[in-house]
Amino acid sequence: MIVIGESIHVISPRVKAALEGRDSKTLQNLAVSQVENGADVLDLNIGPQRREGHQIMPWLVDAIQDVVDVPLCLDTTNAAAMEAGLKRCKRPPIINSTDATETRMSTMMPLAARYNASLIALALGSTGLPNTAEARLEIVMASILPAAEQYGLSTENLYLDPLVLTVNGMQDQVVQAIMAVDYFKQVAVPSPKTTCGISNVSNSIPAENRPLLNQVFIAMMLGAGLASGIMNALDKDLIWVIRTVESRDTSTPRGRLYVALADAVAAGEEFQVEPSMLENPETWDIAKTINILYNRQIYAHSYLSL
């Protein structure tokens, strides 16, 4: 799985201040630590930045490329900022993102084609949140793929994003997003790539609960064959889950459970949590989280204490 590090994001007060103050050192440090921890690509989210985006994005791209040699994923709705950033990228970049509306696709798809960039396309149209895997597939088939063809964007350069919603309130949607990834791989030849916001699954959840939910979720997404994920690359345990599942390292109880979980998803089966997994002090927390992500138990912030 390609790890796209999400930590350079304007939502972080530290990043916001650094962008405003053109403090390249802080941002470069964040870039270096993510890459050292295992990020293959860095997402650069500057927000819309209506006034200065076209200056901030190229400045940021230059600053990051001064310290790391990885592809960049440029993340802004501001088309001028996007284009200014794309011009500076040394490696083929990723555009993050378009949804499935004509307005956004007609802006971002020509940019991607012109600059040989890949494009993340969200399975989100103008008619509200899709609530099944099939609805997500329908958006891809009816809107995203035809538009990509129209704008000359090869499907290999598409990263289809199933739109991950938080388990806190949209609990039934977790499995739908996972199933959608499996569908997306089959919509074209050659296959489009897939990606998603891993941390979205734990949005609006207290910080201490988030890592485990993200970790179990990524194991399931690995099983579904997700090609890349936008995630907290500074979370060493999350990177460990990826490495463990990918190398099929079953030498630890946690590793065995994560590999078994990913295998079940890959086989299109619903993973069953055994009582022994809930009793084992090494795996009980993963087992409870699996039941939450499968929507077998209603999520509550204190679910681990039950």
Query: For binding to other proteins (CB under 8 A), which residues are involved?
Result: 168-169, 171, 297-302, 305-306
Cα Rg for the chain, rounded, in angstroms? 19
Neighbours of 227 (CB within 10 A): 18
**Whose Cβ is closer to other proteins: residue 20's or residue 274's?**
274
Minimum gap (Å) between residue 174 Cβ and other proteins: 13
**Nearest distance from C-beta of residue 282 to other proteins, angstroms:** 24
Helices (H) and strands (E) in the chain, counts: 13, 8
Nearest to 45 by CA among 103, 97, 121, 3: 97
Nearer to other proteins, 25 or 301 (CB): 301
Backbone angles phi, psi at 101, to 5 degrees: -90, 150
- The smaller minimum CB distance to other proteins, of residues 207 and 298, is found at 298
CA torsion angle for 131, 192, 231, 61 (degrees, to 10)?
Answer: -130
166 or 194: CB nearest other proteins = 166
Residue 202 CB, shortest distance to other proteins, in Å, is 13
Query: C-alpha angle with apex 258: 9 to 1, nearest 5 degrees?
Result: 45
CB nearer other proteins, residue 97 or residue 171: 171
**Phi, psi for 8 (deg, rounded to 5):** -90, 85
> What is the CB-side half-sphere exposure of residue 75 using CA atoms within 13 A?
20
Token code pair at residue 192: 């489009």
| Residue with smaller CB distance to other proteins, 251 or 305 | 305
Find all residues with CB under 8 Å of 44, minimum gap 6, and list them.
8, 57, 60, 61, 64, 72, 73, 74, 75, 85
